[in-house]
Structure 1
Amino acid sequence: MKKWMGVIILGLHCAFVFSQTTIITNPVNDTVKSKWGKVKIVDGTKMTSSNDIIENITQSQEYTTLVTVIEDAGLTQTFKSKGPITVFAPTNKAFEKLPAGQLDTLIKPNHKYDLSYLITYHAIAGRVTAHDIEKKINTNNGEATFTTLAGTKLTAKIDENRNIVLIDENGGQSIISKFDIQQSNGILHIVTSVLVPKPKAI
């Protein structure tokens, strides 16, 4: 009886060791983690940190206008590039706030330069988190200035509700409503209004 008990215990011990080894060395779990990265739900759409900016925003119905204007401006590859870049992404509702007919004019082929200028005004070089923006505001007497990819200036402040507010060159304001959405090539912040730079002298 003792002999059989010893065999059973030995068998159970081997099975336990084998199962532990299988779990530890399972390459499938590691591949899934590496491939998909961190997932964040943005306006009902899953955005994955292993995707680039274009791959993520094209999955959402809230950014169809942004995707269209990026394509029309010939900037798709810019926002798919290695970067890193930080993008302040207007929603469809943000674009609807523009004066009537302005967007229709901008997407015409002869206004491609103006459209590109507008879109690159919504991006800055590097990975700039909301904490980075707030820190710069606090260390610069309540106001921070950033140089956009358009070569123009964008100002950031914190309002009475503790929102980070972006102020364009015309005094227009846009609140960062969602922030720090990690992308493989940068960071995405969602804004409530389109930022408009002053006309560029040619």
Structure 2
Amino acid sequence: MRFFVPHLAFLTFLWTISMVGQGPNSDVENELLAIGFEESILSNTLNLTDHATLYSAIKAADLDNILAFDGPFTVFAPSDKAFNILFENTGSNLLKTENKSDLQALLRYHIIAGKFTASSILKALCRGNGTATFMTIQGEALTATIQGIDIVLTDSFGNSAKITTADTNRCNGVIHTIDSVILPKKMNYLP
């Protein structure tokens, strides 16, 4: 009995501590959520001038909560210019409500689980003799290669995108800006 009482007291102490701040309006919880969002992938796309279309697309695809608080993720973020070229080539706009499932597929194809800095990608390229394959959260592969000093991503259709700005580190992952939109196979909306 002597051995049991201290353990029970200790467990009660831990339970009491864990219950403090568990309320739905906890200041600590709200502060942590604010810090997480301010330094998240989503907030970064909101604050950068060349990612306004990406931010709108993330919101339209209902991926905003995932990219604000979950992770870590690596996002290959097409610039506004890249999205404009896609919209011009297709003569349509993925941001429309009727295109939501295709927009989700497209955006998920630009995201891989885990934090892969440019250095991590280069290491994978070295191990793969100049080629590395990454599985996107869409469930399709994306191939990375080196062309000169650039890391280039290639989709299954042969479309390629160059990383133009690497390693924008956020609390829930990393963002690499790319100069073109890459396309998954599993979508109806194709140019």
Instruction: Answer yes or no: is 1:172 the counterpart of 2:164.
Output: no
Alpha-carbon contact 2:130-2:145 (below 8 Å) kept: yes
Amino acid at match of 1:179: A
Q: Percent of pairs identical after alignment?
A: 38
Cα deviation, 1:124-177, whole Å, max 9, x if unaligned, reads: 001111111111111112110000011111000000x21000001110010001
Query: 1:61: Cα distance to partner?
Result: 1.7
Amino acid at match of 1:177: T
> How far apart, in 2, do the equivalents of 1:152 and 1:177 lie?
23
Instruction: Answer yes or no: is 1:187 the counterpart of 2:174.
Output: yes
Could you say if the C-alpha distance between residues 103 and 77 of structure 1 is closer, same or farther in structure 2, counting changes exceeding 3 Å?
Answer: farther
Q: Any residues of structure 2 matched to 1:16-165 within 5 Å, and which?
A: 51-98=39-86, 100=88, 102=90, 104-159=92-147, 161-165=148-152
Does the residue aligned with 1:100 lie in a helix, a strand or coil?
helix
> How far apart, in 2, do the equivalents of 1:125 and 1:105 lie?
27
Query: 1:200: Cα distance to partner?
Result: 4.8
Query: 1:103: Cα distance to partner?
Result: 7.3
Query: 1:104: Cα distance to partner?
Result: 3.4
Could you say if the C-alpha distance between residues 76 and 50 of structure 1 is closer, same or farther in structure 2, counting changes exceeding 3 Å?
Answer: closer
Alpha-carbon contact 2:106-2:187 (below 8 Å) kept: no
Query: 1:101: Cα distance to partner?
Result: 6.3
What residue in structure 2 maps to residue 6 of structure 1? none
Structure with bigger gyration radius: 1
Alpha-carbon contact 2:70-2:172 (below 8 Å) kept: yes
Instruction: Provide structure 1 residue ranges, at least 5 long, that are not aligned to the other structure.
Output: 1-36, 38-48
Query: 1:63: Cα distance to partner?
Result: 0.7
State the aligned residue count.
Answer: 154
Could you say if the C-alpha distance between residues 111 and 50 of structure 1 is closer, same or farther in structure 2, counting changes exceeding 3 Å?
Answer: closer
Query: 1:55: Cα distance to partner?
Result: 1.0
> How far apart, in 1, do the equivalents of 2:107 and 2:141 lie?
14
> How far apart, in 2, do the equivalents of 1:123 and 1:200 lie?
16
Cα deviation, 1:165-202, whole Å, max 9, x if unaligned, reads: 0001110010001111110110011101011111359x
User: Considering only aligned residues, what root-mean-square deviation do their CA atoms show, in Å?
Assistant: 2.2
107-116 vs 120-129, which moves further: 107-116
Alpha-carbon contact 1:62-1:92 (below 8 Å) kept: yes
Amino acid at match of 1:95: F
Amino acid at match of 2:41: I
TM-score using structure 1 length: 0.71
Cα deviation, 1:29-77, whole Å, max 9, x if unaligned, reads: xxxxxxxx9xxxxxxxxxxx96101111111221110011111111111
Query: 1:99: Cα distance to partner?
Result: 5.0
